[in-house]
Amino acid sequence: MRHTLAVLVENNPGVLARVAGLFSRRGFNIDSLAVGRTDNPTVSRMTIVVEGDARVLEQVNKQLHKLVDVIKISDITADEFVDRELVLIKVSVDPSLRGEVMQIADVFRARIVDLGKKTLTLECTGNNGKVDAFEESLQPYGIKELVRTGKIAMQRGSRYTGFTERSQKMNGNQED
Amino acid sequence: MKKSGAEILMESLKAQGVDTIFGYPGGAALPIYDALYDTDINHYLTRHEQGAAHAADGYARASGKPGVCLATSGPGATNLVTGIANAYMDSIPMVAFTGQVATSLLGKDSFQEADITGITLPVTKHNYMVKDVNDLSKIVKEAFHIATTGRPGPVLVDIPKDVSSTVAAYEDPGPVLLPGYSPAFKPDPKQVSRAARAIVEAERPVIYAGGGVVSSGAHEELKELAETLLMPVATTLMGLGGFPGDHPLSVGMLGMHGSKYANYAISDCDLLVAVGVRFDDRVTGKLESFAPNAQVIHIDIDQAEIGKNVRVDFPVAGDVRLCLREIMKQLEPKVESAWNGTINKWKKEYPLGYVDNGRIKPQQVIQEICTATKGQARIATEVGQHQMWAAQYYTFNRPRSFISSGGLGTMGFGFPAAIGVQVACPEETVFDIAGDGSFQMNIQELATVVNYKLPVKVAILNNGYLGMVRQWQELFYNRRYSYTEMSNPEFSKVAEAYGAVGIKITTPSEVRPAIEHALSVDEPVVMDFITDPEENVLPMVPPGEAINKMLG
């Protein structure tokens, strides 16, 4: 099963290598990984989508916790959450077919961000399913180039994965 | 007060109570060595950086204090890597400092540049490159904090040459603030109660004790637990000495070369009390057949170890010593049961043993060393057959007396480690039990023991083979001894050339006098025992087999 982890890390050099190295070394499968800084410039947030059963996920969680730079991990899979991904797609389109492609863009609420003599570059955001569908519908026109950001996600409602000076890793009994 | 980065490093080391460093100088480490020259820190110059790393490791294992090693950039740093990985696998507290090229030269393939933080990322608990001299004292403090707390491990600090040369103000960095690191915790009372109840209800319990008992200092607590409940205790290689080897409840070592009675006890128990262990494959053999009828209690400071290799019924996460104390509070003494009778019967029926044939038997050498030292020596080993015989035939009765590379299995570890042990315990007898293969992997450290008058006693069990590999070739590769036969130098003469005492021993009757002589001189001694060349380590669990299916 796919799990979505929100991981807060110290914004230190090499932190991405530490996390990525851990996954490859221990044979955990990363589906996607997106990283950027948070409102606190010393803290970055990674959204990691990882494939595995409950036992694998338990190890992923525990091994991530052991990294000194990892501050907090939330597996938000079971929660209600909003997830988004951004995709840029460049398709080669004969001017006569531009209208068709623009109609598809409309359906997906995608935007045209560049218009060339023979190409059209589109931007679309949404969850994985929408982005997949968008990609599929442009496939027949000939995709020249495609780039996806990987998924970012956030819990709905009042639950959050935030960093405060007092936040601890969620090792349960570490509080005392 | 203004100081250079190197001087700040010295202040920071002193603040951590460091009085001993093992190291090797070089270009990028020049400022550090210059500052070291003015301090009263004892620096031991090994003859290879790998020796420095293993010596720091041995020092840490014997003393319980963090070991410190120091090397220059590039090859100096990469030569430390095996030693760092070795400490990582066995959870040994160590801080390694490396010189690095100046920050302006980083990433330019400069002379003696190596990305040592990148290289050591998977074999350190954490590592740092100091890019600003103002961070240096804080980083050193954090490095020692991380290395010594929680599950211990090595931390590397890489210091570019301009950082060690730059002048800055030295201030005490204040308390360590690491929001992502919260080690050493007390167990959850619910986990403790469940584990205690399982122990009370068990009819055939066995304790499986490992290196965590030694590193948390839980040997007294373990003994109390075993004696109160009359539970037999099997130890791992790393756990030897964590429970007295001559105790009536001891069943010795378990696993691939464990005693038959230890492996039978594990295979038949209804409760496995795993204390400070990680269910290593050399211990468990075929996982599905390991303690197949047992419920499992797993006590460990590292949550990630619990449930990593085996299903655990009763996890207890926390410092082993604190956990055992809390569990003990809920237990009442038990009387001897049929289970104790069964164990004692197995101990009588399946003793360790070997057949005399007129040649020097390696097991006999170990037994003679044990007798001559009254079981009180600190024994370092290399890796291979001799290591297993040392584990089987020397009786370890106190923690930190068996110094051996368990997880990584590093040949060449024992001799430099013995240097660290002798430095940590100057009044004690320190042996390196070696093979002819392993000893040659760090033989250059003979210069170090002579240089510093460290009276380490090396006992080479010389069979002219890479014995353990040869044993596998004999048993599983149809006796095809592919590149395992070694033609060796005269070790006694090599020792003499370095200025140590060398003794060659070729007949069984010379064994005891040679050991007595080695013990009588306050000098480093190399004893070259020419042993029966094709002796095997038995019992042995064939790879992939259940641990109760032993050869021999």
pLDDT per residue over B297-306, tens digit each? 999 999 999 9
B360 has a pLDDT exceeding 70: yes
Query: pLDDT tier at A167 (50, 70, 90 boundaries)?
Result: very low
User: In angstroms, rounded to a whole number, what is the distance separating the alpha carbons of residues B212 and B303?
Assistant: 13
Average pLDDT over residues B368-377: 98
Q: What is the pLDDT of residue A164?
A: 63
B138 is catalytic: no
Answer yes or no: same fold for B189-349 and B362-530: yes
- Confidence label for A13 from pLDDT (cuts 50, 70 and 90): confident
Of A10, A62, A70, the CB nearest to B304: A62
User: Angle B345-B375-B496 (CA atoms, 0-180°, nearest 5)?
Assistant: 135
Query: Average pLDDT, stretch A64-69?
Result: 96
Say what the pLDDT of residue A176 is: 31
Torsion over CA of B126, B127, B131 and B136, rounded to 10 degrees? 70
- Residues of chain A found within 8 Å of residue B178, distances taken between Cβ atoms: 68
State chain B's mean pLDDT as an integer.
Answer: 97
**Shortest Cα distance from B304 to chain A (angstroms)?**
5
Confidence of residue A158 (pLDDT cuts 50, 70, 90): confident
The whole-number pLDDT of residue B11 equals: 97
Query: CB under 8 Å to B56, separation ≥6 — which residues?
Result: B21, B22, B67, B68, B69, B83, B87, B94, B96, B420
- What pLDDT is attached to residue A159? 83
Q: Are B383 and B411 a contacting pair, CB within 8 Å?
A: yes
Q: Tell me, which fold does domain B2-169 have in CATH?
A: Rossmann fold (3.40.50)
- Across the interface, do B180 and A10 touch by the CB < 8 Å criterion? yes
Average pLDDT over residues B42-68: 98
Q: B186: which chain A residues are within 8 Å (Cβ-Cβ)?
A: 173, 176
Examine the pLDDT at B364 and tell me if it is beyond 60.
Answer: yes
Marked catalytic residue, from B3, B138, B141, B161: B161
Strand partners, B525: B457, B501
| pLDDT at residue A173 tops 70 | no
Question: Which chain B residues have a beta carbon less than 8 Å from that of A65?
Answer: 303-304
Nearest by Cα to B161 from B94, B122, B221, B113: B113
- For B110-146, write each residue's pLDDT tens digit: 999 999 999 999 999 999 999 999 999 999 999 999 9
Closest Cβ–Cβ partner in B122, B129, B308 for A21: B122
- Residue for token pair 């204040």: B174
C-alpha distance from residue B515 to each of A19, B52, B520, B527 (Å) = 52, 27, 9, 8
pLDDT (0 to 100) of residue A175: 33
Residue B184: the pLDDT is 67
**B42 has a pLDDT exceeding 50:** yes
Nearest to A66 among B121, B304, B317 (CB): B304
Percentage with pLDDT > 70 across chain B: 100
Is B180 in Cβ contact with A69 (below 8 Å)?
Answer: yes
Tell me the pLDDT band of A162, cut-offs 50, 70 and 90. confident
Same fold, A2-78 and A84-152: yes
How high is the pLDDT of residue B110? 98
Looking at the domain covering B189-349, what would its CATH class be?
alpha beta
Interface predicted TM-score (ipTM) of this complex, two decimals: 0.91
Indicate the domain borders of chain A. 2-78, 84-152
Q: Does domain A2-78 have CATH number 3.30.70.260?
A: yes
DSSP-derived secondary structure letter, B542: P
At residue B185, does pLDDT exceed 90? no
Q: A84-152, which class in CATH? A: alpha beta
% of chain A exceeding 90 in pLDDT: 86
Residues of A in contact with B146 (CB under 8 A): 68
Question: Is A64 buried (19+), middle (13-18) or exposed (0-12) by CB count in 10 A?
Answer: buried
Domains of chain B, by residue range, sit at 2-169, 189-349, 362-530
Integer Cα distance of A95 and B438 in angstroms: 74
Q: Does A130 touch chain B (CB under 8 A)?
A: no
| pLDDT tens readout for residues B306-349 | 999 999 999 999 999 999 999 999 999 999 999 999 999 999 99
Asked whether residue A166 carries a pLDDT value surpassing 60, the answer given is no
Into which CATH architecture does domain B362-530 fall? Answer: 3-Layer(aba) Sandwich (3.40)
**Mutation site, B100, B181, B278, interface A, largest A CB count within 10 A:** B181
Is the pLDDT at B401 greater than 90? The verdict is yes
Q: What is B449-503 written as a DSSP string?
A: HHHTT--PEEEEEE-SB-HHHHHHHHHHSTT--TT-B-----HHHHHHHHTSEEE
The pLDDT of residue B267 is above 80? yes
Q: Determine, for residues B180 and A165 on separate chains, whether the beta-carbon distance falls below 8 Å.
A: no
B259 pLDDT band (50/70/90 cuts)? very high
Residue B469: pLDDT over 50: yes
Instruction: Kindly report the backbone phi and psi dihedral angles of residue B400, in degrees, each rounded to the nearest multiple of 5, phi listed first.
Output: 65, 20
